[in-house]
Amino acid sequence: LPEFVKGKSGYVISDDHKIWYESITPEDSNKRAILLFMGMATDALGWPQTFIDKLVDSGYQVIRYDYRGTGQSNWVEDWQQKPYSVADLAKDAETILDTLNVSKVHLVGLSLGGMVAQEFAIENPDKTLTLTSIMSSGNIADKELPEASKSIVFDFTKIGIKYGIFQSEKNTIKMMLSAKMILRGDAQYDIDVKGTAEQVLYNLRKRKGYNPDASKQHDQAANLWGSRYDELKDLKIPVLIIHGLNDPFVSIEHSKKLASVIPNSKTKWFNNMG
């Protein structure tokens, strides 16, 4: 298997939770750091290695971390008694930056990660250089905007039953590939089967694997977050909002509303992207 963790990795203790992080610093780092926030129920290794490599090769220090409930971080066995929020996930990132002595960062967040990045930017304006929100929302529970399609919820339930009950390496790979296909929507592009399989095997053999409760935990964290439209109106930093026109999970209407709320925001909509 290829090595997926190429930087300096370690743990911080944030609010009594053990949080795993990785910091990748290029030899001739001449730019500020980029802090990456992954999507729901996905650990830090969910970022494609080619994406990480391009950022590092461009001179950026790249920092990523496993959310609570994922990867090498604390899986929060007492979650029902002590549920965590999007704000808690953002505070974990603050603790990591303090540990690494990083004073200012560019934020890049995908889906749930966009919400965590927004929360970080709202609470840490002095540390935030720019914000890039990808396929995300300022209020996932906004009643004026479309919800995830009923069919996508059914499809995820179906693959959970099909591949999740009898756990094996092969079934876990099939489940992850199926999830990528569902999230692709009606867009037409190839899934990286080999790369996905290698990443799954790395997680199963060299890390803690996958937490079956992470989706439930992160879904509740996102919904409890509520609306941040009022706070987002006060952002002074440059903001880039990206969304795929074929996203079946978070409607592009969420990003359009974000763009209408945030000053200094620019948008980029992609055809054939789920």
pLDDT tens over the chain, length 274 residues: 999 999 999 999 999 999 999 999 998 877 999 999 999 999 999 999 999 999 999 999 999 999 999 999 999 999 999 999 999 999 999 999 999 999 999 999 999 999 999 999 999 999 999 999 999 999 999 999 999 888 898 999 999 999 998 989 999 999 999 999 999 999 999 999 999 999 999 999 999 999 999 999 999 999 989 999 999 999 999 999 999 999 999 999 999 999 999 998 999 999 999 8
Task: State the pairing for strand pair 17-24/33-37.
Answer: unpaired
Q: How many CB atoms lie within 10 A of CB 208?
A: 15
CB 7 within 8 A of CB 62: yes
For the full predicted model, state whether its pTM sits above 0.85. Answer: yes
Domain 8-148+214-270: homologous superfamily in CATH:
Alpha/Beta hydrolase fold, catalytic domain (3.40.50.1820)
Rounded to 5 degrees, φ, ψ at 265 are -100, 145
**C-alpha to C-alpha distance for 68 and 89, rounded to whole angstroms:** 7
